[in-house]
Amino acid sequence: MAVMTFIEAVTLAMREEMRRDPSVFLLGEDVGIRGGVFRASMGLIEEFGEERVIDTPLAESAIAGVAIGAAAVGMRPIAEMQFADFIMPAVNQIVSEAAKMRYRSAGDWNCPITIRAPFGGGVHGALYHSQSVEAMFNSTPGLKIVAPSTPYDAKGLLKAAIRDNDPVLFFEHKRCYRLIKGEVPDTDYVLPIGKADVKREGTDITVISYGLTLHFALQAAEKLAAEGISAHVLDLRTLYPLDKDAIIQAASKTGKVLVIHEDNKEGGIGGEVAAIVAENCLFDLDAPVRRLCGPDVPAMPYSPPMEKFFMITPEKVLEAMRELALF
Amino acid sequence: MSTKRHEAVGLTDQQVLDMYYYMLLARKLDERQWLLNRAGKVPFVISCQGQEAAQVGAAFAFEIGRDYFCPYYRDLGIVLVAGQSARDTMLTAFAKAEDPNSGGRQMPGHFGGKKFNILTGSSPVTTQVPHAVGIALAGRMTGKNPVVYTSFGEGSSNQGDFHEGANFAGVHKLPVIFFCENNKYAISVPLSKQLACESVADRAIGYGFKGVSIDGNDPIEVYRVVKEAVERGRNGEGPTLIEAVMYRLVPHSSDDDDRVYRSREEVEEAKKKDPIIQFANYLKSVGLMDDASEQEVLQKVQAEVDEATDYAENAPYPTPESTLDHVYGS
């Protein structure tokens, strides 16, 4: 089994799907000859040609809207938003159109589109190249939101997203792209959208996270194990619709829950996770549900100390987990 | 007897008579919905009145069953030619389960139906424009090469999605017919407050393809120009923007009162150019219709509208619980 980076797993998933199914194609800004500004589509135009790897005009609503039209008549487009921050002009297309086509036509039409977008900070990207935008979409039934944290999950979930008969927003944490490596089979496997994954079994506290911060939780769990604290770590993987059963099970197991995400706290995914725990696990809880999240400021500043202040760091995660264990 | 202008553009006598039938059917279905609305039987109407000639003339230029339609909410004339029936219109008006557009989920005017090659539409204006471009792109990839119709009002031609979609289609030379139904008003706001350029058709220049402005009250002229555009599209010569100039004869919708923003004199003046009256006069002038056959068509259409109204009124509603269906596929 090959060890590869997160972004290599993304590229592999796209390549395999494009080889498997001629209706799969990629469109976005700089995805062709440049191979994507992060190089996620490196080598694809060489293999599949500019008919299937389309460098579009710089206009996000058209990228989404054209993909939606093509998807409606049977294609399987992968639309790349260069940064999640730039998805905003396409929100009308995603929320008013892609998410509602099946429902508004009483099942006559559907929209099998995958929209990939790099999100998250810690790369000196400042306000408009660092945002987490998932909470803007997570009350939109009809959409699915996926945010994998490992290369293995990225490949299996991206393939699942492409094959899904409904629109999927696929968020890739850009710090994970080259930082996170892992074993990825070269076999054709898909992972189920809508299922969370226990990344570490534990008994004292439960940490629920996704994306980059999931890794910080795993690192902290390792350190805390030496202190005799056993952490259970659940990777949400799908942010909408949430895997409620897995959340309830993970919360009930330890009775102490910490939700971590880089997106700001108020109105974030963590609030919904906490509500699910509150509705279902009251008598299993031994501590108030806690959230460790980005601050409620408009976006991440550029200056290094400010960026560091905003970011969830391994140290902040370790401290929050230890504190909860000692509650 | 006047010359048969329609023959010069390749339309047969039967075709122009069919055009008249569709125009009249659209008008009478529309009028019936207003009556039902004022009687408290249907909650909402959005009209095609005054735009039937442009819609029917345009629709006749496409290959039904092969080409695709991404219409906007006034396009009753388009969807009738594409295959929807009087019953379909009334089932939508009454929001009944059998409504082919949405199963009673959407307001009237939100057309759709896979079996008609009509993409499902929404209320935010002009979102359908990039969809049409995507359908054309997919058609090129699969080799099916449909030409795709998409329409919108002159006010909507200000939306980003019009410009983004037109630009994409221009760059990729895709067979899309951008059909602007310029009825002079975006609800209450007149053309002069919507555009600084001479006509909507001028906007095509910026996207590298042809833009044409035509008389939307003349179905033969509309057919001619759209047909040429469709042929260019089929031959790989890319998109065309066609602005059909007409007048909206009724308020924006059943919830609008147009007396506050336009004079009765202006509306009465426009009614003198009512495309249905004008086209009937043309058909009479070339000997294809007389008063008797005009009455015959009218009676046929009225009977169809009556039957459709009765059928739809008595058809079952969707069940309340079906509100939960069709969020995701299996």
- Please give the interface size between A and B, counted as residue pairs whose CB atoms are below 8 Å apart: 145
Q: In chain A, whose CA is at the least distance from the CA of B117?
A: A73
Average pLDDT value for residue range B233-261: 97
Average pLDDT value for residue range B143-152: 97
Of A61, A97, A100, the CB nearest to B164: A61
**From chain A, which residues contact B within 8 Å (Cβ)?**
23, 25, 51-52, 56-57, 59, 61-62, 64-75, 77, 89, 92-93, 96-97, 100-110, 141-142, 144, 165-166
Q: How confident is the model at residue A133 (pLDDT cuts 50, 70, 90)?
A: very high
Of B102, B113, B138, the CB nearest to A70: B138
- Per the domain annotation, does B262 fall within a domain? yes
- Per the domain annotation, does B330 fall within a domain? no
CATH 3.40.50.920 fits A197-326, yes or no: yes
Across the interface, whether the CB atoms of A141 and B327 are under 8 A apart is answered yes
The span from the CA of B167 to the CA of A88, in Å, is: 19
Residue A286 has pLDDT above 70, yes or no: yes
pLDDT computed for residue A324 by the predictor: 98
What's the per-residue H, E or C state across chain B? Answer: CCCCHHHHCCCCHHHHHHHHHHHHHHHHHHHHHHHHHHCCCCCCCECCCCCHHHHHHHHCCCCCCCCEEECCCCCHHHHHHCCCCHHHHHHHHCCCCCCCCCCCCCCCCCCCEHHHCECCCCCCCCCHHHHHHHHHHHHHHHCCCCCEEEEEECCHHHCHHHHHHHHHHHHCCCCEEEEEEECCEECCEEHHHCCCCCCHHHHHHHHCCEEEEEECCCHHHHHHHHHHHHHHHHCCCCCEEEEEECCCCCCCECCCCHHHCCCHHHHHHHHCCCHHHHHHHHHHHCCCCCHHHHHHHHHHHHHHHHHHHHHHHHCCCCCHHHHHCCCCCC
Sign of CA dihedral A194, A195, A196, A199: negative
pLDDT computed for residue A107 by the predictor: 98
Mean pLDDT across chain A: 98
Contact B128, B150 (CB under 8 A): yes
pLDDT computed for residue A103 by the predictor: 98
Contact B214, B179 (CB under 8 A): no
Q: How confident is the model at residue A211 (pLDDT cuts 50, 70, 90)?
A: very high
Q: How confident is the model at residue B330 (pLDDT cuts 50, 70, 90)?
A: confident
Of B105, B130, B134, the CB nearest to A106: B105
Interface test with A, best of B79, B96, B125, B135 (most A CBs within 10 A): B135
% residues pLDDT > 90 (chain B): 99
- Per the domain annotation, does B185 fall within a domain? yes
pLDDT computed for residue A5 by the predictor: 98
Average pLDDT value for residue range A273-282: 98
B134 interfacial to chain A (CB closer than 8 Å): yes
Average pLDDT value for residue range B59-69: 98
Across the interface, whether the CB atoms of A108 and B328 are under 8 A apart is answered no
% residues pLDDT > 70 (chain A): 100
pLDDT computed for residue B8 by the predictor: 97
Across the interface, whether the CB atoms of A104 and B120 are under 8 A apart is answered yes
Q: Smallest Cα–Cα separation from B22: which of B80, B86, B88, B91?
A: B80
Mean pLDDT across chain B: 97
Tokens at residue B129, please? 């424009």
| Chain A environment of B131 (Cβ under 8 Å) | 65-66, 68-69, 72, 97
Q: What is the pTM of this model?
A: 0.97
Residue B2 has pLDDT above 90, yes or no: no
- Per the domain annotation, does B321 fall within a domain? no
Of B103, B132, B171, the CB nearest to A69: B132
Interface test with A, best of B164, B168, B207 (most A CBs within 10 A): B164
Q: In chain A, whose CA is at the least distance from the CA of B101?
A: A105
Place of tokens 């504190």: A323
| Chain A environment of B123 (Cβ under 8 Å) | 96
Distance from CA of B110 to the nearest CA of A (A): 9
| Chain B environment of A102 (Cβ under 8 Å) | 326-329
Across the interface, whether the CB atoms of B138 and A103 are under 8 A apart is answered no
Interface test with A, best of B110, B168, B174, B324 (most A CBs within 10 A): B168
Distance from CA of B68 to the nearest CA of A (A): 10
Q: Smallest Cα–Cα separation from A62: which of A37, A83, A32, A90?
A: A90
B329 interfacial to chain A (CB closer than 8 Å): yes
Q: Which residues contact A141 (CB under 8 A, 6 or more apart)?
A: A99, A103, A241, B327
- Residue B303's domain is classified under what CATH number? 3.40.50.970
Across the interface, whether the CB atoms of A108 and B120 are under 8 A apart is answered yes
Q: Which of 3.40.140.10, 3.40.50.970, 3.40.800.10, 1.20.81.30 would CATH assign to domain A2-184? A: 3.40.50.970
Distance from CA of A193 to the nearest CA of B (A): 12
Distance from CA of A258 to the nearest CA of B (A): 30
> Which residues 103-132 of chain B have a CB within 8 Å of chain A?
103-106, 110, 112-114, 119-120, 122-124, 127, 129-132
Distance from CA of B132 to the nearest CA of A (A): 6
Across the interface, whether the CB atoms of B114 and A65 are under 8 A apart is answered no
- Tell me, yes or no, if the two domains A2-184 and A197-326 fold the same way: yes
Of B133, B142, B325, the CB nearest to A66: B133
- Residues of A forming the active site: 129
Tokens at residue B30, please? 């529309």
For chain A, the structural domain boundaries read: 2-184, 197-326
Q: How many domains does chain B have?
A: 1
Tell me which residue range forms the domain holding B248: 5-310
Residue B1 has pLDDT above 80, yes or no: no
Q: Smallest Cα–Cα separation from B117: which of B147, B87, B94?
A: B147
- Residues of B forming the active site: 248, 252, 261
- Per the domain annotation, does B283 fall within a domain? yes
Across the interface, whether the CB atoms of A62 and B161 are under 8 A apart is answered yes
Q: In chain B, whose CA is at the least distance from the CA of A110?
A: B329
